[in-house]
Structure 1
């Protein structure tokens, strides 16, 4: 059990960060670990943060979704934690992957305001609306954490949301019914014999019931189908003449293709084909940072405490968000004012997308190049071996390409034996054009993507175009592997008591 608990906490650790560039949501860690209703388990459990990570991944359809956790200092000595949980929480605090503050209060809302991140919460945040007007003006930026069916879900503004994909009627067309072959004629003698037999079987005093007319089927919930039924049933409605086979219009326009999965609804005088498509609801992902936040995030900051895990000299994992105490940038952990240490080097948040699903996020900064390949050498490089089948592994080089930032631009450098495909796009809906570079470099545009192999690509995070994503496919959700797959089930279940 200790091994499985450690494995689950290690999986959760990989999805936590205080780097404002990588994070995709901010949450009060203490509020989550004490939220018993989410799993009906112990009074306090560190594994519940994993349930929030899973919920954010499902909400964003992102297998590498990353949380920005904020915790009060008192949580580090919470007696209800196991010794293992206290040790892990202390390590997270020392490594700077969770932010420690004297009291959480409105800190999560402040981080959301300065960065544009959505805030994940259990409690009501209306008390802070006088200071942060967007809590009322943009309520979708508040994601309510709620239990459902043994797992956690995130609801924008506490409003239930429809499934990610729903069938929606998008078109209709009258369809000429297929001709019905006439039934074979029945000899008069046989018909008379049949009628006599039926009359003999019927009880006295009853007459043979007339056959009911066929009833028209309808499409429930679609007004268009009902209107079409009325027009088809109207005997005075003029029929649309079919175009002549030899007309110029008929020869110029090809026949319309039939969409797969079309619904055919039959009426007494004809039929109507109602085509459906799968669409996804637009979900709020991230807003722009406030004006103050833009200024703060452009600079590097240093705490007076050299060993500070948030703004110390030895921090190596990006930079968290300074707190604004009376308008002065301050260290959220120690409370003292921060010293400005120059401009932050230009950097890009990147996402690795495999089979249409984002799998991992990472940062490429000026002076800190990142190598991507089958088995790159560095600890901060991106290895692809876990996502490559045999043919792909033979195609992708061990050190396939490098990403670096030069003069503020993102540059891709090919180091492979087979080259790297670049997709150039000018906007979100641009289908793009592709070309290959071999032992060469190329500056990346905002909507460009890098195809390492078919189905394996690199994009600027949040810049995946609609021309690429198309429709959300249900199979994507099956690939969203839970970070709690190795968690001991006893830790997530309320123990039964004898009566």
Structure 2
């Protein structure tokens, strides 16, 4: 079911999906907006991530839930997802998507080039790792695939024209001086004055979505009211287990509690035996490593018989036994040559060779630039109501 892949836990989410952009993308199917396009995208992301349980943080324009060409049943599904806190709904989703992606370093799945935000988010232009674009899969008729894309640099006059077409909305705290404050605010638990708020209402959820940050501090993105600070949020991190390059399971680390991982830990932990085949590697101990989430980082220690290595920037380093070592995004804890642990929800996890980009489909109105892998196709821009001087 589609809702099984939805989460507002940004630590668990692998991707941020521009839901309105995907559902309205007619290149992914004939006719008007269809929710089935989102199902096709989820299937594509499962293949791309090699993870059948892939999780996404989906943000939608409010207009998608009413009168967007969806059937009454599809609108009811979206409204239920919003009510249950499975998706985030904004009057305009674009600035919210960029805000979350920048704060939490996630890949964005969209065809939009976000021209009106280039001055506010300089990182948009030329980033080779941040964006994925859905397209009809030529190898699977009727299916969707994803490929990397690079947003090109547009001329100044073109950016100015787009800025005149719509009033820029405040996307929250911006600028170098606000960075530390934003990251501090992200680690708090928040309560909305509207008690039945699906995002920050009572009872408070240990797993909350990302709050909105303005000059007033933290604000509920749904009700636009100041949020009350209810203390520091417990640190959480999610770890994925890869066997032969494919994700087989994942588990969550809660702050201050060590979790054992191995073939079959003696105490409660993560047992990998069922994913290691009929002849599990004897070099992997029953309890091989322990991991723990601290206030500001994740740490790992080797408790095995034969040792553990950590892969950083392509090189392997052997862990000192019985000592805690930092475990950061983009690194791999190697239990065996076939079995590694990685932190979930990080865009640099993927391999450039995961999806070879085919030629641009003929239905796309492309903006192309020359990238290191050849021609990279941009996207048709969403048409917006113009505002004249």
- What band does the TM-score fall into relative to the shorter chain? 0.5 to 0.7
Residue in 1 that maps onto 2:278: 390
> Which of 285, 289, 295 does residue 184 from structure 2 map onto?
295
Q: Distance in 1 between matches of 2:332 and 2:75?
A: 42
Shift of 1:70: 0.6
> Which of 24, 33, 36 does residue 26 from structure 2 map onto?
36
Give 1:232-381 correspondences, 5 Å limit.
Answer: 291=180, 293-314=182-203, 316=205, 318-326=207-215, 328-367=217-256
Contact 1:375 1:383 in 2 (8 A): yes
Shift of 1:409: 5.9
Residue in 2 that maps onto 1:284: none
Larger radius of gyration: 1
Structure 1: unaligned runs, 5 residues or longer: 1-8, 160-288, 475-499
Structure 2: unaligned runs, 5 residues or longer: 153-177, 356-389
Shift of 1:333: 1.5
Residue in 1 that maps onto 2:148: 155
Residue in 1 that maps onto 2:343: 460
* Count, aligned residues: 322
- Shift of the 338–420 alpha-carbon distance from structure 1 to 2, 3 Å rule, reads farther
Residue in 2 that maps onto 1:144: 133
Contact 2:105 2:347 in 1 (8 A): no
For the aligned residue pairs, the C-alpha RMSD in angstroms reads 4.5
Shift of 1:69: 0.3
SS of match in other structure, 1:17: coil
Q: Distance in 2 between matches of 1:87 and 1:400?
A: 47
Are 1:81 and 2:68 an aligned pair?
Answer: no
- Shift of the 471–155 alpha-carbon distance from structure 1 to 2, 3 Å rule, reads closer
Residue in 1 that maps onto 2:97: 108
Shift of 1:336: 1.0
Contact 2:310 2:334 in 1 (8 A): no
1:4-33 CA-to-partner distances (Å, cap 9, x unmatched) read xxxxx2xx3333222222223322212212
Q: Distance in 2 between matches of 1:390 and 1:139?
A: 40
Residue in 2 that maps onto 1:125: 114
SS of match in other structure, 2:326: coil
Q: Distance in 2 between matches of 1:22 and 1:314?
A: 21
Shift of 1:58: 5.1
Shift of 1:384: 4.7
1:30-82 CA-to-partner distances (Å, cap 9, x unmatched) read 22122222133x53332322332344455556665432101234444567236
449-458 or 13-22, which deviates more: 449-458
Q: Distance in 2 between matches of 1:18 and 1:339?
A: 19
SS of match in other structure, 1:130: coil
> Which of 89, 99, 108 does residue 88 from structure 2 map onto?
99
> Which of 293, 305, 313 does residue 405 from structure 1 map onto?
293
Contact 1:113 1:293 in 2 (8 A): no
364-373 or 302-311, which deviates more: 364-373
**TM-score, normalised by the number of residues in structure 2:** 0.64
